[in-house]
Amino acid sequence: MRIEGRFTAGTPCVTLPLSIFIIARNEADRLPRTLEPLAALSDDVVVVDSGSTDDTVALAEAAGARVLFNPWPGYGPQKRFAEAQCRHPWLLNLDADEWLPPELVAEIRALFASGAPPADAYEIRIAEVFPGEDAPHPLAYALPPVRLYHREKGSYSASIVHDRVDLVPGAKVARLRGIVHHFSVRSIGDQIAKLNAYADQQVADLAQRGKRIGTWRIFTEFPLAFFKAYLIRRHFVRGIYGFITAMNFAFYRWLRVAKDYERRSLERKRNRQP
């Protein structure tokens, strides 16, 4: 590990054999918050931009990140491209709308205090912070994906829509105690636009893999997805905004089913034409 003077004023920072990578596009409003605590962990922060038209690139460079451009190929391929640019054996992936609180930064640093971490990969829980909140609700649902891993033990899936690390057989996985804060919702309108675009990508992925969603799910997807978001994922603890976001999630899940049905209907029509 190297000593760097980039942590808090007057406090030297021990950077780790760890690279941090982020994929971004038009994230000037959220990326600076994401980048701010990372100097406490790494001297190799990589931001892969896919064509921002705002100040994303300038702000990332000003924060000390290495910025590279790569046209958008889908989630998995973009993260695999970012992995390949990293210099260190350990990798940490963050999204441009996520933030590491101080206790999680300290926990990650402690993993390397005595050398290499004992596990090959680490799950880190991620909880949403909704507009008007400063931190996740204490009862907020948190997804626990692998985000910290040794590059010889795992890599992001090549799927254009499935955002996950595929680990080698036998890889030892542990879970950190800290929680990543996920500022995923700029506004209701922005969330709907984002989910609509993601539904399009999922339908394209289904077509590419020769898969389909059962037509019967047009009638069941919305209520079941709302139940999942509002009750199982505990959006109900977030009051009215939780109800709104659960409705948006349910609509997105229904929309991907409807769009897949539309895709298949148009294909059948084209195939019938002489």
Residue 160 confidence (pLDDT) above 50: yes
Query: What is the rounded distance in angstroms from the CA atom of residue 240 to the CA atom of residue 236?
Result: 8
What's the gap between Cα 224 and its chain centre?
24
Q: State the pLDDT at residue 274.
A: 65
Cα 252–Cα 253–Cα 258 angle in degrees, nearest 5: 90
Residue 52 confidence (pLDDT) above 70: yes
Residue 93 confidence (pLDDT) above 50: yes
| Range from 45-54, 112-121, 181-190, 263-272 carrying the lowest mean pLDDT | 263-272
Per residue in 160-169, is it b (16+ CB within 10 Å) or e — as a string?
Answer: bbebebebee
Tell me which amino acid residue 55 is.
D
Q: Per-residue confidence at 14, pLDDT binned at 50, 70, 90?
A: low
Per residue in 2-21, is it b (16+ CB within 10 Å) or e — as a string?
Answer: eeeeebeeeeebebbbbbbb
User: 161 versus 255: which is more confidently predicted?
Assistant: 255
Residue 101 confidence (pLDDT) above 90: yes
| The two structure tokens encoding residue 272 | 């019938």
Q: State the pLDDT at residue 27.
A: 97
Residue 64 confidence (pLDDT) above 80: yes
pLDDT in tens, 226-262: 999 999 999 999 999 999 999 999 999 999 999 999 9
What's the gap between Cα 161 and its chain centre?
11
User: 7 versus 185: which is more confidently predicted?
Assistant: 185
Q: State the pLDDT at residue 13.
A: 57
Q: Reduce the DSSP state of residue 167 to 3 states and report it.
A: strand
Q: Per-residue confidence at 269, pLDDT binned at 50, 70, 90?
A: confident
Tell me which amino acid residue 204 is.
A
Query: What are the angstrom distances between the C-alpha of 263 and each of 75, 115, 198, 205, 260?
Result: 22, 52, 15, 12, 5
Work out the average pLDDT over 75-97.
97
Query: What is the rounded distance in angstroms from the CA atom of residue 73 to the CA atom of residue 84?
Result: 15
- The average confidence (pLDDT) of the chain is 92
Query: What is the rounded distance in angstroms from the CA atom of residue 88 to the CA atom of residue 16?
Result: 9
Q: Which domains does the chain have, with CATH numbers?
A: 2-182 (3.90.550.10), 188-272 (no CATH)
Q: State the pLDDT at residue 163.
A: 86
Query: What are the angstrom distances between the C-alpha of 56 and each of 24, 32, 195, 210?
Result: 8, 9, 22, 36
Closest CA to 94 of 14, 140, 141, 27: 27
Paired strand residues for 253: none
* Dihedral sign, Cα of residue 102, residue 108, residue 111, residue 114: negative
Paired strand residues for 19: 44, 91
User: 9 versus 223: which is more confidently predicted?
Assistant: 223
Query: What is the rounded distance in angstroms from the CA atom of residue 21 to the CA atom of residue 45?
Result: 6
Paired strand residues for 46: 21, 66
Work out the average pLDDT over 159-180.
95
Closest CA to 39 of 104, 105, 94, 98: 105
Residue 115 confidence (pLDDT) above 60: yes
